[in-house]
């Protein structure tokens, strides 16, 4: 479709908006209300242009200009909003003539009438769309001689977001965002004309993706409360990295200043997170600067941990190691360690000759699917049938948003010369979502069930039998085995408690999909039996698979082979068997029984950013960089290799694992592989033919075969424990990492501590009230949580978030230890 923008001829696809035509031509037009990935609504009238087009006569022939003989251009009588105008054959768009300039000038003046112009004290100053557009398109002179409207300037929409109502220019981006992206209409305009203001429901912002409105607000009306008044935009160091809070690999900006992380913002990755991130990723960084951060190594001398240099600490470890057999040493690293850190840990294990190496948390089932079976996030967003098992919203928030994309039936837009289209005319306000294509299964009510045509609430621990019945329904057969008395085709519920009619409907809907995707969370992958049944169901349905690992680099560490050589060497089995341990970012001593055993070890080396309970009983504590301070690579749930870049954060002498391996190697007189990112990349090139030197900006899905096929390395101890004790609590995923919950003060104030969800009847039976801070032992480990009384929790069953040391699954809560801590101080 031929279109002319000023003097530039373009060939564009039908359906393109005129504003995108202008940007494609390399030209500019100001705008406020349009926003990538949201509906264009023509609200701000800032993008006006003079638009004309040729016409055909009643015989279907172009009406010709008498002078030129070319098709005659008929100009629209008024200037048009380019964001809501679709290009047509022969259209001419003029953004430079006098009438257009006058209109732009007037609209800037109009928009500024009631804007306070408090740029010198506004956090958005220097990165404000209104500021920029006023410079570019305003007259530079104020004719306004009256008092401006005054509205509330510090309205807390939540503990995380502050609204300055005076600054709002009524672009409606924030209102549309909630309805169109996460799907909750929680903001709206109140009142009329210049009295209009933004407000939320009285309950605040009940949503897990609230922070994105601070990114898209074109002015400083909506601000991230964690960074408010902390710096000017030009002072920030912007580090392009990816989230380490979940397995999605969402792109983020880490904004730091004077060695502190001030804020996290979403960064564009059209293939992963578009321009959205969840609140856990955005607001979960405050712990990094906590004053309790470890900045220097510690060595136990005379029973006390005392500060030491790295050379002293490394020499201490090397000396102890030389006195023991290397194969007795266990190495356990957290599953958000980078690929390069994994290579370093493997090199250390290889040097010591030990097979006792593992990453944790790690599901019993593999999180790596063959490439042919694997669904990308784009596959998910364009799927026509989706089956989700578990609470994907809490586990990998962006997956939730991409599922909601799919329900709208609008494929992600193609990139244009200027990138993502500014105004995708296929998107509409209140666009219906086709809920029939979504099935969600979980043992308790999860958020995504609100959008599911079929919601299967099954008995906890019965995932395997549910999937076997689903597969049987798909094949039109009946099932035997452990599904209970009932069979598919019968109306009575079976052992999992789901009616067979619902099972048939769910199976049928997935089977009918031509682009079906099955998403398996930790709720299924935590059990090999359930995962096997789920894979069989997905295969029978011809669906692609999305397997969500428990942490940011679970996939990468598994592919690299950071796995034990035998089931008895798996973490937590190695906590029993190894004579010495090197533990990175894990805290098993939260279980007092395990703590006692750790105290008996010949050597305990802990690499962590804080003096955890395990660090407190260690022989040597090595200060660790947090996830924001490391360079390296992670592999997300698609198998996409993504670059992680370290933000300049003041972390004392902290090292990541590659640094630890270098220091220990030097003390041992060895140049270990994986002693730096470069060294790890050399190993990958040589051994796996992977070149990570030039990863594209948005990452790359590489078909890497796991170094060692996944052996049966699951630790049976945990499963046996559950069987023996029975389960009264489901350990679930959480968008907010429980490890640092009490150090992220804004998140803590907004959401409370990790949540213990309890049914109202159970709460009454245990004397619990909503909001209570409690302490109890779950599978032996002391946990702290804030009670949430909700009908979503089934009677007799509670839920509590998983940690790195307490993976997902059914567990036993010792209710005799359930103590309510009425005072916050008591918790601290």
Q: Which residues of this protein are in contact with ligand FES, per CB under 6 A?
A: 31-34, 42-47, 81, 83
Give me the least distance between CB of 176 and ligand FES, in Å please.
12
Instruction: Please check whether residue 496 is in contact with residue 483, taking contact to mean a CB–CB distance below 8 angstroms.
Output: yes
Give me the least distance between CB of 124 and ligand SF4, in Å please.
10
- 33 vs 735, which CB is nearer to ligand FES? 33
Tokens of 342: 């994994």
Residue tagged 């973490």 (tokens): 571
DSSP E strand boundaries for 308-436? 329-334, 357-360, 385-389
Give me the least distance between CB of 176 and ligand SF4, in Å please.
9
Nearest by Cα to 659 from 682, 634, 635, 680: 680
Q: 83 contacts which partner out of ligand FES, ligand SF4, none, CB within 5 to 8 A by kind?
A: ligand FES
The number of CA neighbours under 13 Å toward the Cβ of 335 is 30
Nearest by Cα to 23 from 83, 63, 72: 83
Q: 445 contacts which partner out of ligand FES, ligand SF4, none, CB within 5 to 8 A by kind?
A: none
Give me the least distance between CB of 187 and ligand SF4, in Å please.
7
- 218 vs 809, which CB is nearer to ligand FES? 218
Q: 359 contacts which partner out of ligand SF4, ligand FES, none, CB within 5 to 8 A by kind?
A: none
- 19 vs 743, which CB is nearer to ligand FES? 19
Give me the least distance between CB of 84 and ligand FES, in Å please.
7
Give me the least distance between CB of 220 and ligand SF4, in Å please.
9
Could you give the 3-state DSSP secondary structure of residue 82?
Answer: helix
Helix axes 657-668, 677-688, angle to 10 degrees: 90
Q: 44 contacts which partner out of ligand SF4, ligand FES, none, CB within 5 to 8 A by kind?
A: ligand FES
- R_g of the chain, CA atoms, integer Å: 29
What is the number of residues in the chain? Answer: 828
Q: 174 contacts which partner out of ligand FES, ligand SF4, none, CB within 5 to 8 A by kind?
A: ligand SF4
| Distance (Å, whole) CA 368 – CA 60 | 58
Give me the least distance between CB of 83 and ligand FES, in Å please.
3
Q: 221 contacts which partner out of ligand FES, ligand SF4, none, CB within 5 to 8 A by kind?
A: ligand SF4
Q: 45 contacts which partner out of ligand SF4, ligand FES, none, CB within 5 to 8 A by kind?
A: ligand FES
- Bridge partners (DSSP) listed for residue 260: 257
| Distance (Å, whole) CA 230 – CA 535 | 49
DSSP class of residue 181 equals T
- 32 vs 276, which CB is nearer to ligand FES? 32
Pair type for strands 298-301 and 304-307 = antiparallel
Handedness of CA 236, 239, 240, 246 (dihedral sign): negative
- 172 vs 267, which CB is nearer to ligand SF4? 172
The DSSP string of 311-325 is: HHHHHHHHHHHHTS-
Which chain residues interact with ligand SF4 by CB under 6 A? 168-174, 198, 217-219, 221-222
- 34 vs 95, which CB is nearer to ligand FES? 34
- 171 vs 365, which CB is nearer to ligand SF4? 171
Spell out the residues 6+ positions from residue 252 whose beta carbon is closer than 8 angstroms to its own.
Answer: 240, 241, 242, 243, 264, 265, 266, 267, 277, 281
How distant is the alpha carbon of residue 548 from its chain centre? 12
Residue tagged 């994986």 (tokens): 674
Q: Which helix (H) or strand (E) holds 168?
A: none
Residue 451: C-alpha distances to residues 173, 180, 183, 307, 370 (Å): 23, 13, 9, 54, 29
Nearest by Cα to 638 from 516, 556, 566: 556
Q: 170 contacts which partner out of ligand FES, ligand SF4, none, CB within 5 to 8 A by kind?
A: ligand SF4
| Distance (Å, whole) CA 324 – CA 581 | 12
Q: 34 contacts which partner out of ligand FES, ligand SF4, none, CB within 5 to 8 A by kind?
A: ligand FES
Give me the least distance between CB of 158 and ligand SF4, in Å please.
14
- 40 vs 572, which CB is nearer to ligand SF4? 40
- 423 vs 692, which CB is nearer to ligand SF4? 423
Residue 309: C-alpha distances to residues 299, 603, 615, 621, 698 (Å): 9, 18, 17, 11, 39
Tokens of 576: 């029993």
Q: 571 contacts which partner out of ligand FES, ligand SF4, none, CB within 5 to 8 A by kind?
A: none
| Distance (Å, whole) CA 622 – CA 656 | 10
Q: 46 contacts which partner out of ligand FES, ligand SF4, none, CB within 5 to 8 A by kind?
A: ligand FES
Give me the least distance between CB of 169 and ligand FES, in Å please.
10
- 181 vs 222, which CB is nearer to ligand SF4? 222
Pair type for strands 161-163 and 155-156 = antiparallel
- 221 vs 473, which CB is nearer to ligand SF4? 221
Q: 535 contacts which partner out of ligand FES, ligand SF4, none, CB within 5 to 8 A by kind?
A: none
Give me the least distance between CB of 28 and ligand FES, in Å please.
13
Q: 17 contacts which partner out of ligand SF4, ligand FES, none, CB within 5 to 8 A by kind?
A: none
Give me the least distance between CB of 163 and ligand SF4, in Å please.
6
Q: What are phi and psi of 684, to 5 degrees?
A: -65, -40
Give me the least distance between CB of 266 and ligand SF4, in Å please.
15
- 34 vs 462, which CB is nearer to ligand FES? 34
Helices marked H in 69-160 — which ranges? 98-112, 129-137
Give me the least distance between CB of 402 and ligand FES, in Å please.
26
Give me the least distance between CB of 172 and ligand SF4, in Å please.
5
Q: 585 contacts which partner out of ligand SF4, ligand FES, none, CB within 5 to 8 A by kind?
A: none
Give me the least distance between CB of 166 and ligand SF4, in Å please.
10
- 171 vs 333, which CB is nearer to ligand SF4? 171
DSSP class of residue 737 equals -
Give me the least distance between CB of 179 and ligand SF4, in Å please.
13
Tokens of 483: 């599904």
- 218 vs 639, which CB is nearer to ligand FES? 218
Instruction: Please check whether residue 379 is in contact with residue 517, taking contact to mean a CB–CB distance below 8 angstroms.
Output: yes
Q: What are phi and psi of 514, to 5 degrees?
A: -90, -20
Q: 222 contacts which partner out of ligand FES, ligand SF4, none, CB within 5 to 8 A by kind?
A: ligand SF4
Note if the bond before 572 is cis, omega within 30 degrees. yes
Nearest by Cα to 356 from 327, 333, 336: 327
- 58 vs 195, which CB is nearer to ligand SF4? 195
Q: Which helix (H) or strand (E) holds 11?
A: strand 8-11
- 31 vs 610, which CB is nearer to ligand SF4? 31
Q: 646 contacts which partner out of ligand FES, ligand SF4, none, CB within 5 to 8 A by kind?
A: none
Spell out the residues 6+ positions from residue 302 whose beta carbon is closer than 8 angstroms to its own.
Answer: none
């Amino acid at each position: 479709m031929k279109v002319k923008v000023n003097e530039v001829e373009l060939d564009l696809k039908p359906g393109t908006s005129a504003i995108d035509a202008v940007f494609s031509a390399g030209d500019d037009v100001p705008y406020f209300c349009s926003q990538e990935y949201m509906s264009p609504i023509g609200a701000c009238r800032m993008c006006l242009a003079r638009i004309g087009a040729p016409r055909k006569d009643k015989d279907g022939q172009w009406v010709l200009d008498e002078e030129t003989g070319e098709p005659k251009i008929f100009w629209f009588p008024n200037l048009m909003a380019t964001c809501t105008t679709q290009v047509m054959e022969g259209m001419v768009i003029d953004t430079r003539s006098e009438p257009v300039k006058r209109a732009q000038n007037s609209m800037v003046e109009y928009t500024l009438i009631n804007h306070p112009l408090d740029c010198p004290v506004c956090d958005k100053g220097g990165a404000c769309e209104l500021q920029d557009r006023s410079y570019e398109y305003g007259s530079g002179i104020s004719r306004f001689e009256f008092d401006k409207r005054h509205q509330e300037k510090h309205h807390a929409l939540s503990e995380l977001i502050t609204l300055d109502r005076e600054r709002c220019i009524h672009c409606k981006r924030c209102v549309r965002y909630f309805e169109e992206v996460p799907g909750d209409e929680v903001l709206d305009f109140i009142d009329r004309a210049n009295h209009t203001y933004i407000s939320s429901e009285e309950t605040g912002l009940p949503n897990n993706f609230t922070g994105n409105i601070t990114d898209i607000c074109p002015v400083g009306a909506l601000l991230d409360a964690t960074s408010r008044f902390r710096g000017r935009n030009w002072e920030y160091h912007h580090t392009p990295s990816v989230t380490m809070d979940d397995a999605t690999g969402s792109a983020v900006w880490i904004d730091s200043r004077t060695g502190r992380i001030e804020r996290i913002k979403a960064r564009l990755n059209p293939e992963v997170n578009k321009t959205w991130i969840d609140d856990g990723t955005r607001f979960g960084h405050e712990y990094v600067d906590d004053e309790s951060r470890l900045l220097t190594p510690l060595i136990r001398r005379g029973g006390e941990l005392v500060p030491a240099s790295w050379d002293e600490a490394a020499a201490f470890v090397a000396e102890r190691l030389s006195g023991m057999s290397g194969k007795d040493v266990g190495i356990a690293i957290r599953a958000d360690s980078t690929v390069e850190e994994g290579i370093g840990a493997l090199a250390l294990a290889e040097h010591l000759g030990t097979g006792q190496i593992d990453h944790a948390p790690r599901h019993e089932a593999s999180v790596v699917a063959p490439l042919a079976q694997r669904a990308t996030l784009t596959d998910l967003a364009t799927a026509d049938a989706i089956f989700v098992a578990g609470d994907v919203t809490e586990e990998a928030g962006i997956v939730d948003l991409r599922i909601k994309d799919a329900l709208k039936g609008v494929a992600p837009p193609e990139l244009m010369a200027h990138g993502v289209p500014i105004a995708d005319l296929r998107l509409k306000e209140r666009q219906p979502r086709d809920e029939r294509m979504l099935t969600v299964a979980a043992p308790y009510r999860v958020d995504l069930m609100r959008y599911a045509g079929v919601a299967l609430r099954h008995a906890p621990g019965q995932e395997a039998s549910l999937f076997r019945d689903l597969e049987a329904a798909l094949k039109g057969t009946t099932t035997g085995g452990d599904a209970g008395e009932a069979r598919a085709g019968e109306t009575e519920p079976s052992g999992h408690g789901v009616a067979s009619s619902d099972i048939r409907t769910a199976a049928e809907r997935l089977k009918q999909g031509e682009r079906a995707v099955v998403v398996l969370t930790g709720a299924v992958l935590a059990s090999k039996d359930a995962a096997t049944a789920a894979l069989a169901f997905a295969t029978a349905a011809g669906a692609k698979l999305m397997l969500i690992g428990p942490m940011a680099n679970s996939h990468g560490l598994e592919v690299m082979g950071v796995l034990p050589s035998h089931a008895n060497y798996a973490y937590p089995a190695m906590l029993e068997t190894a004579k010495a341990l090197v533990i990175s970012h894990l805290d098993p001593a939260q279980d007092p029984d395990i703590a006692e055993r750790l105290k008996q070890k010949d050597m305990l080396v802990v690499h962590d950013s804080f003096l955890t309970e395990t660090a407190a009983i260690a022989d040597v504590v090595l200060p660790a960089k947090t996830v924001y301070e490391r360079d390296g690579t992670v592999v997300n749930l698609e198998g996409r290799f993504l670059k992680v870049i370290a933000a300049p954060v003041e972390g004392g002498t902290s090292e990541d694992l590659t640094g630890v391996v270098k220091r220990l190697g030097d003390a041992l007189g060895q140049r270990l592989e994986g002693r730096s990112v470069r060294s790890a990349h050399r190993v990958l090139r040589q051994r796996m033919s992977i070149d990570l030197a030039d990863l594209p900006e948005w990452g790359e899905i590489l078909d890497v075969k796991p170094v060692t096929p996944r052996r049966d390395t699951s630790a049976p101890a945990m499963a046996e424990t559950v069987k023996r004790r029975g389960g009264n609590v489901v350990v679930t995923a959480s968008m907010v990492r429980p490890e640092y919950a009490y150090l992220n003060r804004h998140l803590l104030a907004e959401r409370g501590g990790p949540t213990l969800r309890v049914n109202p009847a159970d709460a009454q039976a245990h004397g619990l009230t909503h909001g209570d801070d409690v302490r109890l032992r779950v599978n032996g480990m002391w946990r702290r949580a804030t009670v949430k009384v909700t009908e979503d929790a089934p009677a007799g069953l509670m839920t509590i978030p998983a940690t790195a040391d307490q993976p997902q699954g059914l567990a036993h809560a010792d209710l005799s230890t359930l103590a309510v801590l009425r005072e916050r101080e008591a918790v601290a």
